[in-house]
Amino acid sequence: MKTVFSSQQTHQMNGARFLSIAFFIFVCLLQIITPIFVFAASRKGYEAKIVNKTFAYTLSPGEKKTIEVNFKNLGKETWKRKGTNYISLYTTEPTYRKSMFASANWFDETHAALLKETSVAKGKTGHINLILTAPKKEGEYTESFQLVAENTTWIPGSDMVFHLVVKDPKKPTAKSEKTQAKTASDKKLSALLLLRSEKSVVAEAGEKIAFQVGIKNTGTVAWKKREVRTSDVVMATVGDTPNSTQLALNTEGEIAPGVIDFLKFAFIAPTIKGSYTMHYRFAVNDEIVPDVSIDIPVEVTADSSTLLESPLAVDPSQIEAANVIDEPMMRIGVLIVDDETDNQVRISCDSPWKLIDGNGALLSEQMSGAPVTAFYKNGRYYFNRGNGLEQSSFYLRFIPESAASVCTIENFDQRLTRRAKYADNQFRNVLELRYNSAKDRTWVINELPMEYYLHGLGETSESSAYEFKKTLITTARTFALYQFERATKHASEYFHMNAYADDQVYKGYSYEVRNPSIGKAADETRGITVNYEGRTAITPYFSRSDGRTRDWSEVWGGTVAWAKSVPCPCDKANGRRLWGHGIGMSATEALCMADEQGKKWDEILKYFYQGIELKKRWL
């Protein structure tokens, strides 16, 4: 669910969106994004990072120079020197360009070299020996190359641009008029997509996604007008931009060769559940730059059918709103275990705790503060409790002596990896390390009672109006219960929701300590949920409207009786624009109703969700 006062990071999936502080600060942060940048997204399992620091050299006419270029394999696929998908280096800008620096050992003037190693596994570094032979003519040259997995793909993150000066060292350094004229005639547009605010995006159908890219000028021409363009006007949104294919436009200043330009834009996620790649182009001075393609993998997790028609995972007799049920035990995916934590976790708890495998076997009993390091690899779970590396065939559960106890992922610190203000690496009750084959990734899952989950919810902050907190907590509790009852959205990954903005932002114990009034609001509304005709109602909510909420049918299709369009006069009076899917409750309007109009939390809920009842589901 695209939620309100949230913190987002790249990763994962990762990457995370914006750290929530207070409503007004949050609105500002939506306009001024300060993301963590990562390298280009993986394509068909291939991705690379260039390890070299410089690609600028001076050569004498006819000189032969061997340059070792090092690439780290960031993708899932192992690189091979031989076979169908062998790795080699080709010219680019444009692709398969005949190079003036081709050497006799090249396969041809476009195909420069093979991978040096027989194979390079994920996370390892491979090498290419590129031999350049300088042309006889003096001058300044630009040579561009990129790795290719033969018959498969150009490898993202491997594109590089060499700046080469060919000069006779015996001649005076001043350029002749002829050389200056030749250099001027060689001026061209060239760019390198260097930075992106997210490697990939997880969103709900129709959700508006903010994005930012950093593109380096690798050519010889200063950039004046810079644009991000799309030909897909259905999936793009451009605000006040008059050109429907133009997502971003920047005409301020000039971007000299070698300088990075940053462009912000937004797009709308597709409206059907599935995996997509959004494809955009970069233009300079009204000319498309051919060597830059902005490809954004997008996973749409839910649409109308998945939200409303998913089967119940609990006994239907237990979900009638009139009945009191046991407090649900929520399972929240809090961390994808990848290179952010060196593909392992080190966990301790603040009380005596046990390490138990998924089959119920006791693996270790630990004292308070004593950590265990663990990871998953090739079908096995490995752990080190101080006696060397041990292993299990079953997933691992880190279980403290009580649900109120706090466990810490010691090697996960968002201040270091996500530019956050706080580590936010502590969680009440059980942590679980579990791999899933559906997405081929390992999660840390936090299992805890619903109300403890709500205490650590990062959807708003300490400074927002108290009635708004109670409104938001009740809405969030209802949405979480709805997912618990169905257990289908993330069933393949063994949890109900994740801790990020596409579900609900959850920060855990540290956030609970910093924002005690959120926990108080949860306590005062304990167990109360939104219901319609005796069943739990799904309660979508979003950041802000442009003067009205949207009917469910406008965005996701179908009819939902309690999710109808209603006016948002505060949003309209403040000239706000729509941010989010637009269905259900506008957080900024709800905040205005609580703070400026003195409305109570139950009044606010019944305004946005019509014909509902508020019921206490557990004690």
Calculate mean pLDDT across residues 511-525: 97
The overall average pLDDT reported for the chain is 84
The DSSP 8-state label assigned to residue 387 in this structure reads S
**Residues 470-505: pLDDT tens digits?**
999 999 999 999 999 987 788 999 999 999 988 899
CA dist 514 → 242, 448, 526, 608 (Å): 44, 19, 20, 29
Domains defined along the chain, listed by start: 48-189 (2.60.40.10), 205-300 (2.60.40.10)
Burial (CB < 10 A; 0-12, 13-18, 19+), residue 498, is buried
Rounded-to-10 torsion of CA 213, 219, 220, 223: -30
Query: What share of the chain in percent tops pLDDT 90?
Result: 53
**Do the beta carbons of residue 48 and residue 157 sit within 8 Å?**
yes
The Cα 508–Cα 514 span in angstroms is 10
The Cα 34–Cα 46 span in angstroms is 27
**Residues 209-244: pLDDT tens digits?**
888 888 999 888 899 999 998 743 222 233 333 344
Question: CB-based contacts of 537: which residues, under 8 Å, 6+ apart?
Answer: 478, 482, 530, 531, 562, 609, 612
**Residues 136-165: pLDDT tens digits?**
888 888 888 889 998 788 888 887 888 788
pLDDT (0 to 100) of residue 84:
79
Which pTM value belongs to this model?
0.63
Calculate mean pLDDT across residues 437-456: 96
The Cα 539–Cα 530 span in angstroms is 8
Q: Check pLDDT > 90 for residue 273.
A: no
Rounded-to-10 torsion of CA 211, 217, 222, 225: -20
**Phi, psi for 229 (deg, rounded to 5):** -120, 155
Rounded-to-10 torsion of CA 536, 445, 453, 578: -70
The Cα 280–Cα 266 span in angstroms is 12
**Residues 575-617: pLDDT tens digits?**
999 988 899 999 999 999 999 999 999 999 999 999 999 999 9
**Residues 379-434: pLDDT tens digits?**
999 999 999 999 999 999 999 999 999 999 999 999 998 889 999 999 999 999 99
The Cα 348–Cα 123 span in angstroms is 27
- Look-up of token digits 């793009």: 236
- Return the H-helix or E-strand segment holding 589: helix 587-595
**Phi, psi for 278 (deg, rounded to 5):** -85, 130
Q: Check pLDDT > 70 for residue 455.
A: yes
Q: How many CB atoms lie within 10 A of CB 516?
A: 11
